Structure 1
Amino acid sequence: MPVHNAKLTVDGAPVEKVSDTKPTDVRWDEYPDLAHRVLPIRPLGDHVPQNPFKSPRDIPQDRAIGADPNLPNLLGPGVERLDLTPSIGTQLSGIQLSNLTDKQKDELALLVAHRGVVFFRDQDITAEQQRALFDYYGDNPEDGKKLIVNNIQEQEPDFRRAYVHFKWPFADFHADSSFAVNPPSFSLLRVDEPPPVGGDTLWISGYGTYETLSPPLQAFLDGLKAWHSSELVYESVLNHWGVKPPTRPHETLHPVVRTHPVTGYKSLNLNSGFVTRIDGLNRYESDKLLELLYTHIHTATDHQVRWRWEKNSVALWDNRHVTHRATHDYAPLHRHGVRVTIAGEVPVFKAGSRSRREAERELRNKPGLPAVYNENLRKGIYPAEGEEAASKLW
């Protein structure tokens, strides 16, 4: 349920409503560590959004919690599983999302929490069934039960030229609406009209980009927070695409490293699509640190998966620990898909949480590891602890 007792201030003074010309700070007693700021709509345009801001809300317990890590219902007879990379991405064959039992849905949620994104081919699921599936998993980020439909029409001949005046880094890596106080958890996209070739989507693991940082940099980032902003995308879609956003531009302070509520793993919670600055650092320090971290993310091919769409292919991913980007290389052809999304919890960093690598190191060479773990961990033979080769691998 939403929290309604929001306290608004402008320049430190209490106000009754958000300002059109100055940033309005919003706080909630129930979320003392959550900082939210509604940005002025002037001079972004004449449009006055219907919603001034959205209050945080409590999210139902993740369906993955309590699911069997051996995935006995999901990986039943006739189902084939293929890990596309060691770090991220699994394809399941021989299963229809339209026919999942509740236990299968729970186990699928657990697999996505570990693997980041799970793919399917030749799905018969309809838009209404997509919405029904996500109604089982959680709450719609928007009010009501309206489907979130992603219509991608004819692309510009060259988006780098067409969107040269965009302030938002179009086509860059992002986690869906990470600027929200309750950023999305799961997203599901079914492409029903792909181009003959092109239009691939890439995902990067936040588990992987965190665990491959040096320990001193990890220690520095743990506990820091960054501002995730909708201002640039707001201005771009309003003034270039003619779309009138329903909510005022805003920014929310979220942890740079968040703890996943299901796995307990640390994830690098940054994306170049929406994060504008790191709180507490001066502007030069923030800009240079973000430049370093974005380069680290963008070059993480060892923690990246690329998916080639076919008609009625589906991807189900967890925005809490992956970022993604579309590949706009099929202009001027047509591409269409239907996406559904659900709201997640307010992101937190828990002291004492571990990286995925730290957790998995203790599991190496143990027999009978649950199916939820990647194939290399379950089947690989690792050097004994203390050997030189082990220090190079880990």
Structure 2
Amino acid sequence: MSPGPVLTVDGKPTDHLDDEKPTVIDYPETADLPAVHQIATPLKPLGDHVPAKGVRAPVVVPKDRGLAADPNLPNLFPSGNSEIKRTDLTPSLGTLISGLQLSKLTDKQKDELALLVAHRGVVFFRDQDITTQQQRDLFDYYGIPETDPDPESGKPVTTTIQEQEEDFRNTYVHFKWPFADFHADSSFQANPPSFSMLRVVELPPTGGDTNWISGYGTYETLSKPLQQFVDGLKAWHSSELLYDSVLNHWGVKPGDRPVETLHPVVTTHPVTGYKVLNLNSGFVRRIDGLNRFESDRLLDLLYTHIHTAQDQLVRFRWEKNSVAFWDNRAVTHRATHDYAPLNRRGVRVTIKGQVPVHVPDSVSRKEALAKVLKEGKVQAVHNANLREGDYRGREAQIPVDL
């Protein structure tokens, strides 16, 4: 655990969260955690509800299991086993695995799967027999649950995803949080989630697909001058719109106070080492240090870049008992709300990730993979184009055409 935070209101020290003015929360840097800067949003403008919990403190999380894995994935895809098949759905992200049950993975397979998810962003499975408890057990192997245990049972929480049964455009008239837009789960926390897993158990005959976009890809496709500019910026990720919408539209009383947390615009993934464009229109409100006009215009530009990145997107059509396992540190996602008034329901589990950091000398995925290809060190974690593509005679073009 980190040492206690320093709280201030209007620049003056305080020992509690203020309900009428923003409370600044500063956690100093320690040997185990970077400094964390947050703002607790005042409650009074949002309603009379007082959440039972305060703001979640930053914590040290277990070492990512992917760091212990063999990048050639010999246990996940054993030589000579023709039943387990892998299909990379796009060059940038998304892999479908068939012939493998998540309920029966060995520890070495779990580690290799974590590494593959970190590289490919999201991995899909169909026809899974995994139960809700097994789903939770699997994620307990990977780390700390993102939400607190159920107070009655003491068991870690699973979340039932019951999607909107109405046209989301009409809902947006009074629902402030853009729930149908791209987001990374709970990116406003000091420890945003690393892995999430969703298993769909009920869905309409058609519709309800989910889209994922690679943060590796949206960073590497920015122009060099823009990469250099955003590398040093930070952005405020806020739960205020979500809190307001859940409280005042859904009528559910949130347990956590609304909070804003300052995170780097470009993060370095702790497993792959690749740079990530760490922005999502679901939770990011403004760029720190810029005036409102500058921040809004820059976010407009970057969100347009993200929303038009068809070359960095994968769209998955769900079937009953399909599973998606994704890395919130590397991708954002959005559901497609095109099936009202039918139902779509699933079970999600999530774990806490590291406090996001920006490592100045880290590189983009494109730069890293160009080096891997030139050195002849392509491994199973890499995409099918690298593993199977014919690059003969194109060595000089690799840095720009990869």
Distance 1:189 1:386, change over 3 A: closer
Aligned match for 1:326, one of 321, 335, 346: 335
Structure 1, 137-146 or 199-208: larger mean CA deviation:
137-146
**Structure 1 unaligned regions, length at least 5:** none
| 1:189 counterpart SS class | strand
The answer (yes or no) to whether the contact 1:365–1:380 under 8 Å persists in 2 is no
Aligned match for 2:139, one of 118, 126, 134: 134
The answer (yes or no) to whether the contact 1:38–1:53 under 8 Å persists in 2 is yes
Counterpart check, 1:55 vs 2:87: no
Distance 1:380 1:238, change over 3 A: same
Aligned match for 2:45, one of 33, 43, 46: 43
Aligned match for 2:226, one of 189, 214, 217: 217
Number of equivalences: 391
Distance 1:63 1:32 in 2: 21
Counterpart check, 1:177 vs 2:186: yes
Distance 2:329 2:34 in 1: 21
1:113 is matched with 118
Distance 1:386 1:75 in 2: 29
Distance 1:220 1:58 in 2: 30
Distance 1:263 1:173 in 2: 22
2:2 is matched with 3
Give 1:316 deviation, angstroms.
0.1
2:90 is matched with 85
Q: Which amino acid aligns with 1:52?
A: G
Counterpart check, 1:276 vs 2:281: no
Q: Which amino acid aligns with 1:174?
A: H
1:254 is matched with 263
| 1:109 counterpart SS class | helix
Distance 1:154 1:55 in 2: 31
Aligned match for 1:306, one of 315, 326, 348: 315
Give 1:161 deviation, angstroms.
1.1
Q: How does 1:1-394 map to 2 (within 5 A)?
A: 2-29=1-28, 30=30, 31=33, 33-76=35-78, 77=81, 78-144=83-149, 145-152=155-162, 155-156=165-166, 158-364=167-373, 367=376, 369-382=378-391, 384=393, 387=396, 390=398, 393-394=401-402
Distance 1:236 1:392, change over 3 A: same
Give 1:366 deviation, angstroms.
5.2
Distance 2:338 2:64 in 1: 36
The answer (yes or no) to whether the contact 1:18–1:38 under 8 Å persists in 2 is yes
Give the TM-score normalised by structure 2: 0.94
2:152 is matched with none
Q: Which amino acid aligns with 1:117?
A: V
The answer (yes or no) to whether the contact 1:184–1:319 under 8 Å persists in 2 is yes
Q: Which amino acid aligns with 2:126?
A: R
Distance 1:385 1:123 in 2: 41
Give 1:148 deviation, angstroms.
2.3
Distance 1:390 1:275, change over 3 A: same
Q: Which amino acid aligns with 1:58?
A: V
| 1:143 counterpart SS class | coil
Give 1:392 deviation, angstroms.
5.3
Give 1:36 deviation, angstroms.
0.8
| 2:17 counterpart SS class | coil
Give 1:333 deviation, angstroms.
0.8
Distance 1:308 1:32, change over 3 A: closer
The answer (yes or no) to whether the contact 2:161–2:348 under 8 Å persists in 1 is no
Give 1:362 deviation, angstroms.
1.2
| 1:22 counterpart SS class | coil
Q: Which amino acid aligns with 1:41?
A: L
Distance 1:154 1:235, change over 3 A: closer
Distance 2:161 2:372 in 1: 43
Distance 1:154 1:256 in 2: 30
Distance 1:102 1:176 in 2: 26
Give 1:390 deviation, angstroms.
4.7
Give the TM-score normalised by structure 1: 0.96
RMSD between aligned alpha carbons? 1.5
Distance 2:25 2:377 in 1: 49
**Structure 2 unaligned regions, length at least 5:** 150-154
